[in-house]
Amino acid sequence: MKFDNLYDLFLGEIQDLYDAEHQIVEALPKMHEAATSSELQDAFQQHLKQSKMHIKRLENVFEILGESAEREPCEAMQGLIAEGDEIIEENEPSSVLDAALIAAAQRVEHYEIAGYGTVRTYAQILDYNDAVDILQQTLDEEGETNKLLTGLAMRVNPQAV
């Protein structure tokens, strides 16, 4: 994709995140089903609700920009989700699978944190202050989800030994 200016880059990154969030909404039910830990299942269910809200927030950002909500295929998320699918397909339900699912979920969270932090900064530079607030709210939630997953890992991973 070619970008002529920061606005074009900003819009492209928003479209990428919009696609990434849709992919996550499609992937989380499978991760929920594969998890054996009820805490992990609850975390996946909660993140599914959040991801649906993130999609709505991105649609608000498109509206602020006066753009239509369009998805730019997010190949990075496709790869992260494919790795998660492979983990599920190759492993039996167990605490080891739960540990692997947490790791896969944290990779997704770190991608989202990087993406939302970047677009929030672009929005600041471009003076889209309403978008800054929306993107910061999502960035904060992604950080909290990552912390939740870290806490789960501290409880689940020792069972995988």
Closest to 89 measured CA to CA, from 27, 34, 24: 34
Say how far apart CA 32 and CA 147 lie, in whole Å.
18
Q: What is the mean pLDDT of residues 2-26?
A: 97
| Tens digit of each residue's pLDDT (9 = 90 or more) over 30-56 | 999 999 999 999 999 999 999 999 999
- H or E element: which one contains 53? helix 38-65
Q: Is the pLDDT of residue 156 over 80?
A: yes
Q: What is the mean pLDDT of residues 133-149?
A: 97
Q: Tokens for 38, please give them.
A: 């009820």
Q: What is the pLDDT of residue 93?
A: 92
Q: What is the mean pLDDT of residues 141-160?
A: 94
Q: What is the pLDDT of residue 1?
A: 73
Check: CB of residue 16 under 8 Å from CB of residue 111.
no
Check: CB of residue 158 under 8 Å from CB of residue 142.
no
How many whole angstroms from its chain centre is CA 110?
A: 8
Q: What is the mean pLDDT of residues 89-118?
A: 96
Distances in Å between the alpha carbon of 133 and those of 29, 69, 117? 29, 18, 12
Check: CB of residue 144 under 8 Å from CB of residue 54.
no
Say how far apart CA 118 and CA 99 lie, in whole Å.
29
Q: What is the mean pLDDT of residues 76-98?
A: 96
Say how far apart CA 18 and CA 15 lie, in whole Å.
5
Check: CB of residue 17 under 8 Å from CB of residue 115.
yes
Q: What is the pLDDT of residue 143?
A: 96
Q: Tokens for 21, please give them.
A: 């969030």
Q: Is the pLDDT of residue 105 over 90?
A: yes
State the pLDDT confidence band at 2, using cuts at 50, 70 and 90. confident
- Which domains, and CATH codes, for the chain? 6-160 (1.20.1260.10)
Say how far apart CA 72 and CA 146 lie, in whole Å.
25
| Tens digit of each residue's pLDDT (9 = 90 or more) over 51-79 | 999 999 999 999 999 999 999 999 999 99
